[in-house]
Amino acid sequence: MPKIAGWAEFPEGVREHLIERMRDRRITLEDLNRLRLWIESDPEVPDGMWYKDFGSFKLCGEGQLPKTFLLPGQPAKGMKV
Residue 2 belongs to a domain: no
What is the tens place of the pLDDT at every residue in 25-76? 999 999 999 999 999 999 999 999 999 999 999 999 999 999 999 999 999 9
Residue 80 belongs to a domain: no
> Are the beta carbons of 69 and 45 closer than 8 angstroms?
no
Residue 77 belongs to a domain: no
pLDDT at 8: 87
How many C-alpha atoms does 4 have within 13 Å on its Cβ side? 21
User: What's the predicted TM-score (pTM) here?
Assistant: 0.90
Residue 45 belongs to a domain: yes
Q: SS3 for 68? A: strand
Residue 78 belongs to a domain: no
Residue 27 belongs to a domain: yes
pLDDT at 1: 82
* 58: containing domain: 7-72
Residue 35 belongs to a domain: yes
**What's the structural domain count of the chain?**
1
